[in-house]
Amino acid sequence: MAKEAGQQTSGEYIIHHLQHLTFGRHPDGTWGFAHGAEEAAAMGFMAIHVDTMFWSLFLGLIFAFIFRSVARRAEAGVPDGMQNFIEWIVEFVDNSVKETFHGTSKLVAPLALTLFVWIFFQNLMDLVPVDWIPMTAYVMGIEYMKVVPTADVNATMGMALGVFGLILFYSIKIKGVGGFVGELTGMPFSARSPLLKVVFAPINLILEGVALLAKPISLGLRLFGNLYAGELIFILIALLGLWQLPLHFGWAVFHLLVITLQAYIFMMLTVVYLSMAHEHH
């Protein structure tokens, strides 16, 4: 909060803005909100970041409302500006999927569109001045409020694990259990000899297992790292007082490219991974 007239040090200001509104079980057995990072850490793995959940769902509903509203009033004649823009996004995603995905699925294109727009909306919250919503929440009695869901590793890894689940599902569905296991144990070292196949199988499993597990980890951490860094820079700029306006504007213009690119990268990697899951070897 704008340093609250100097009552907060710079370190306290940064820590406050990076703290989530966390709900969970206290060590004494009671349930409630954490009043600081130490209490949040003591709640353990099952604690919930309420602000991340709220803004993710809220922005998802906005995305669904906008696209549904445009679809319901779409006309075959001359479309309005909003319909043109939505159609351009849909066509852009559809062309990207057609160029990258080599299987047959009714899920991939809608999933790609959902991921791209939903993640973009979440990323876009990074452009809201860092004090506006947290200060409003503080006045309402809410101590912490982080408004960028993709700056929370729990959100980005949650989406990445969802994609990972689809990768496993389609890999087994298309190739069968035997084909999927054979893919993990038969590459990159292969041999005609049954004995060598047995020798190479654990080595291949380790190498391919690492490559498989790296997909959701890199997918989630890449998005989190870029948005967390962008949010931190905005917080540091806010500490500069009157000098923050030109710097905030300059970084916001550059960051607009970053948030769009990160949404696109997450979408395209998802399409690529699902395309690989549909391929027969």
C-alpha to C-alpha distance for 124 and 147, rounded to whole angstroms: 10
Query: Which residues, listed in sequence order, are joined to residue 49 by a DSSP beta bridge?
Result: 22
Q: Among residues 105, 154, 222, 275, which one is catalytic?
A: 222
Q: Among residues 123, 171, 204, 226, which one is catalytic?
A: 226
Q: Are strands 48-49 and 22-25 parallel, antiparallel or unpaired?
A: antiparallel
Q: How many CB atoms lie within 10 A of CB 192?
A: 6
How many Å separate Cα 56 from the centre of its chain? 10
Collapse the DSSP code of 196 into the 3-class scheme (helix H, G, I; strand E, B; otherwise coil) and give the result: helix
222 in active site? yes
84 in active site? no
Token pair for 121: 């909306």
68 in active site? no
First to last CA, the chain: 56
Q: Which residues contact 242 (CB under 8 A, 6 or more apart)?
A: none
The C-alpha angle with vertex 267 and arms to 256 and 235, in degrees rounded to 5, equals: 35
Catalytic residues: 218, 222, 226
